[in-house]
Amino acid sequence: MSDKKRVLFLCTGNSARSQMAEALLRNLAGDRYEVSSAGTHPKGLHPRAVDVMQEIGIDVGRQSSKDVQDFLDKKFDYVITVCDPARQQCPVFPGAEPIHWGFDDPAEAPPQNQVQVFRRVRDEILHRLSLFIIADR
């Protein structure tokens, strides 16, 4: 049995924000956390998420979008929603501490600004995760 705390990141599409959060936390503190991500309406990994994560040396290309329904029978210590619609549609996970971090949807940025917005959101998630890890000691 693992002593790692279990974390589920949840957004609507499980295509960008929750995928980046999953990979970042695994990279930052995978020895302390078992990390998953899912979407309320999964739609596939966004190629820009793959690109901006690769820029910082993290390969998310093998990750896939998952449906939150597939996790309903799992136990988590934290369920972290990363967008407002997911917060509103998040099922109850008994025993899990619900946390909400609202990040902009980088996929909704205009094509000419999309890479910059993906980078900004990635960096915002990284900052928030750094604070989370420090606080969760």
Domains in the chain, number:
1
Q: What CATH number has the domain bearing residue 101?
A: 3.40.50.2300
Active site residue 11: yes
Catalytically annotated residue among 8, 10, 11, 38 = 11
Domain that holds residue 15: 5-135
pLDDT in tens, 45-87: 999 999 999 999 999 999 999 999 999 999 999 999 999 888 8
Q: pLDDT tens-digit profile of 2-41?
A: 689 999 999 999 999 999 999 999 999 999 999 999 999 9
Q: What is the pTM of this model?
A: 0.95
Dihedral (Cα; 102, 40, 20, 62), 10-degree rounding? 180
- Torsion sign across C-alpha atoms 72, 84, 77, 58: positive
How much is the average pLDDT of 99-104?
A: 95
- Identify the pLDDT of residue 1: 52
Scored b (16 or more CB within 10 A) or e, 30-68 reads eeebbbbbbbbebeebbebbbebbeeeebebeebebbeb
From the candidates 38, 90, 121, 129, give the one annotated as an active-site residue. 90
90 is catalytic: yes
Considering 83, 96, 125, 129, which one is annotated as catalytic? 83
Please enumerate in sequence order all residues whose Cβ is within 8 A of that of 93, keeping only pairs 6 or more positions apart, or say none: 8, 71, 72, 74, 75, 76, 79
